Amino acid sequence: MKFVFSEAQRRHDPRHFLSSGAPQPNPEVPERVNRLLAGARAAGLGEVAPDDYGAGPIAAIHTPEYLQFLDTIFARWQRIPKASAEVVPNIHPDRRDFSYPASAVGQAGYHMADTACPISAETWQSAYWSAQTAMHAARMVVDGERTVYGLSRPPGHHAFADLAGGFCFLNNAAIAAQELRRAYGRVAILDVDLHHGNGTQGIFYRRSDVLTVSIHADPVRFYPFFWGHASERGEGPGLGCNLNLPLPRGSGDGPFLDALDAAIRRIRSYAPGALVVALGLDAFEGDPFGGLTVSTDGFARIGEHCATLGLPTTIIQEGGYVCDALGDNLTAFLTGFGSSAA
């Protein structure tokens, strides 16, 4: 197995986010890269740098308004008298069926779902190369590799077609799935992050060619709150092509693996030609977010179970924050996946 990574992904270095109304140090920091690189190398993966595929694969998922916003908003924000050092919205619309605002402040509120995705001078380039990493990993699978891991940072699964949120700007898993659709009639996305992949769900919610499945902490009292409930099944042509498996807070290896088995059964019934695993490692018992209690050995078993699908697979990094075991958890998943896929 190989992995894809670009050094440009280190540049994004957000300082703060608001949590329960209080400013906190932002946990989505470049140090995550060091831990994840060590984990991928310890699993024996060879490193590949991504090619630059341009804006086309990104624009296949995200709207042109949104991409222009991400590319230009920091410079525009800095022209505002007494503006903050990072772009953080202070107003949010109560609906989206109105004319598009011209001001930088209005557009920030329109395109940023929360205060956990501050934009600095380097954010666009890091997000761009995170997306190119996912694209290259998927292209390698289309070209014949059985499994490729994309070390995408910043993560992506909370990003909608025109909306950033939850540390995410471009939806890397969706970009990878769209690329896999060039070669496969149907693709499944299996999201095992602590948090529901609301952006990924939203992007594909009315499509039947991509099945979205997410295992996550129950959002009734946990981010992202408004999405990720078991009743959400898709709409229109996508009805029945979305499955959410929320878990009670504090759930460990057993309940997670039981949910994973249910997810795998649904994926088998969908009969996709390829798989994207949105790999969050923040379900770990020692992760700073503390929502679930999966062990390091549990991640190895999650990898083993995912590999039993026997599909060409692109693994895209999502969450998982700085703790002593972050690299070990990635090594465990990749080793478990590789042992079952061999």
H/E stretch holding 72 reads helix 64-78
Q: Give 88-144 as a 3 state SS string.
A: CCCCCCCCCCCCCCCCHHHHHHHHECCCCCCECCCHHHHHHHHHHHHHHHHHHHHCC
CA–CA separation, 260 and 191 (whole Å): 10
Contact between 307 and 340 (Cβ < 8 Å):
yes
Position 42, amino acid: A
Nearest one of 32, 23, 20 to 88, comparing CA atoms: 23
With contact defined as beta carbons under 8 Å apart, do 131 and 89 qualify? no
Cα dist from 300 to 129, 144, 177, 210, 281, whole Å: 28, 25, 24, 26, 11
CA angle 291, 281, 258 (to 5 degrees): 70
Q: Which amino acid is at 298?
A: G
Tell me, yes or no, if 195 is annotated catalytic: no
* CA 314/CA 134 separation, integer angstroms: 8
**Beta strands 313-317 and 274-279, pairing class:** parallel
Distance from the first to the final alpha carbon of the chain: 10
Catalytic site residue from 111, 157, 158, 305: 158
Q: Annotated catalytic sites, by residue?
A: 158
